[in-house]
A and B are shown apart, each in its own frame.
Chain A
Amino acid sequence: MKKIIRNLLCLFLLSYTMTSCVSVAAYQKMHLNDKDMALGDKKLESFEINFQAYREGAAGANGGKVGGGCGCN
């Protein structure tokens, strides 16, 4: 577990130092501001994330449900 955390922090650091020089000005963000470019799940996906969390042992890291509700059906 410690190894995973350490590697992940290194990955974060590496990504950050490699990319922090990238600077796209606000007026150049036309494509990045496309709703479909958002770095998150769409609202309508929440239903599917919910049943996937129930039907699979794995969940999380997508802003979806990680607790509350037994999911036992």
Chain B
Amino acid sequence: MIIKKIYFIISFIAITFCTQAQDGYQMKPNGNYSDIDFLSSYYAQDGNNAAVTGGVGTEELTDFANILVVSVPLDSTQSINATFGLDIYSSASTDNIDNNRSSASVMDARKYGNIGYTKKLLSKGFTYGARVGFSGEYDYTSINGGINLAKELNNGNTEFAFSAQAFIDSWKPYYPSELRGEVSVPTTSRNSYNAQLTYSQVLSKRLQMSLSVEAIFMDGLLSTPFHRVYFIDQATPDIERLPSNRLKIPLAVRLNYKPTDKLVVRSYYRFYTDDFGIDAHTFNLELPYHINDNWTVAPFYRFHTQTGSKYFLPYAVHTSSEEFYTSDYDLSELNSTKYGLGIAYTPLYGLARAKVPFTKKVFMFNSISLRVSRYTRDTGLTGYGASIGMNFRL
């Protein structure tokens, strides 16, 4: 019965698509310049509930992240996008995998990259594309691929977009030093598959919204091999044990409104549920204000609340007879808040520009953005982030 209803709804939408008047509308072609974004961020956090030490102990961590994003139009309908990233992080909790502090795990790097191709069918309002990518850490590698489709309707006032991705990941398990030779994991693979459908709609000259639903399915080793769990009924800890699959369903609504020529109200709400027992609500509000043609300031606030996973209990509360257990506070009941400020400087003709020798092209330092944030979790974790973004055009 439900399947019949779904078929009916999909058929109705399909029929409605076909009857939408386009009035000779043609979607916007690619610009004739390449965009290059260099983004860099520093993040630091501290708390006292590290999963590596069973839900107690330092969560001190710093992360210096850098991303280069290049978008190159091949012509008015085709483009190539590439992203390269390098995160350098130090983690006091990861260092506690071994009892010998300042071992090799105190600092590590994550390298990642992906490349994608996008094609627009301008007269049909249709866009499609595909991408592949990789990431690597000292104990973790991942390859991924995905597709994306989008259809504009109603003279560009409506869009349906679909994307799907698969991440094929592999662990090189490291166990807590005192448990090596005593414990093992059933598999070293972790795969994630996700599909997202987004509906975007212009509601007036100053208001637009989007609805998104995503399904994320994970299978394989979903626990972390060096997370310890301590028990109430035995002295020896074990490593974290979690089910081998997990289904996550987030639903999100965005509503952006420009009540005056200078102010934009950006709002976002997400409901999330999964079969680990976590239900969550997330609300985000950002208020970009255009001081003048060049400068924009954007204060923002985010609130998140979630129920705890049914597999979570704090330090030394689990019993050893349970099948699954974790003391990772990321999966606990928690409320978190984040607030901060963004500043963007976007002069009409860029911050600097120079002619590229032997060509007619101009290289322009187009804009610069800064963003600082403070993140607090009511479990006691506090984090600070600062990031800078520079956009260049060629």
Give CA–CA (A37, B206) in the complex, Å: 9
Contact with A along B334-346 (1 / 0, CB 8 A): 1010100010001
Those of B257-274 within 8 Å (CB) of chain A: 258, 261, 264, 266, 268, 270, 272-274
Give CA–CA (A43, B32) in the complex, Å: 21
Q: Which of B118-126, B149-157, B176-184, B355-363 contacts A (4 or more CB under 8 A)?
A: B149-157
B211 interfacial contact with A, CB 8 Å = yes
Task: Name 16 A/B residue pairs within 8 A (Cβ), A-sorted.
Answer: A4-B249, A6-B2, A6-B5, A12-B211, A16-B16, A16-B158, A26-B156, A32-B208, A44-B41, A44-B389, A47-B41, A55-B383, A57-B309, A61-B270, A69-B112, A70-B224
Cβ–Cβ contact A59 & B224, under 8 A: no
B296 interfacial contact with A, CB 8 Å = yes
- Known interface pairs A19-B158, A67-B167. Does A9 touch B6 (Cβ–Cβ under 8 Å)? yes
Cβ–Cβ contact B154 & A58, under 8 A: no
Residues of B within 8 A of A62 (CB): 212, 250, 252, 268, 270
Residues of A within 8 A of B298 (CB): 36
Instruction: Report A's interface with B, CB cutoff 8 A.
Output: 1-2, 4-6, 8-13, 15-17, 19-20, 22-26, 28-32, 34-39, 42-48, 50-52, 54-63, 66-70, 72-73
Q: Which of A8, A9, A11 has the most CB of B within 10 A?
A: A9
Residues of A within 8 A of B282 (CB): 58
Cβ–Cβ contact A69 & B258, under 8 A: no
Give CA–CA (A45, B282) in the complex, Å: 15
- Known interface pairs A43-B389, A44-B342, A57-B280. Does A67 touch B194 (Cβ–Cβ under 8 Å)? yes
State how many residues of chain B have any CB contact under 8 Å with chain A: 113
B288 interfacial contact with A, CB 8 Å = yes
- Known interface pairs A56-B334, A58-B272. Does A34 touch B304 (Cβ–Cβ under 8 Å)? no
B93 interfacial contact with A, CB 8 Å = yes
Cβ–Cβ contact B65 & A47, under 8 A: yes
Cβ–Cβ contact B155 & A23, under 8 A: yes
Q: Give the Cβ gap from A68 to chain B, nearest Cβ, in Å.
A: 4
- Kindly report which residue of chain B lies nearest to residue A55, judged by CB atoms: B330
Give CA–CA (A6, B133) in the complex, Å: 33
Residues of B within 8 A of A52 (CB): 304, 336, 338, 375
User: B6 contacts which of A5, A26, A58 (Cβ < 8 Å)?
Assistant: A5
Contact with A along B152-170 (1 / 0, CB 8 A): 0111111000000101010
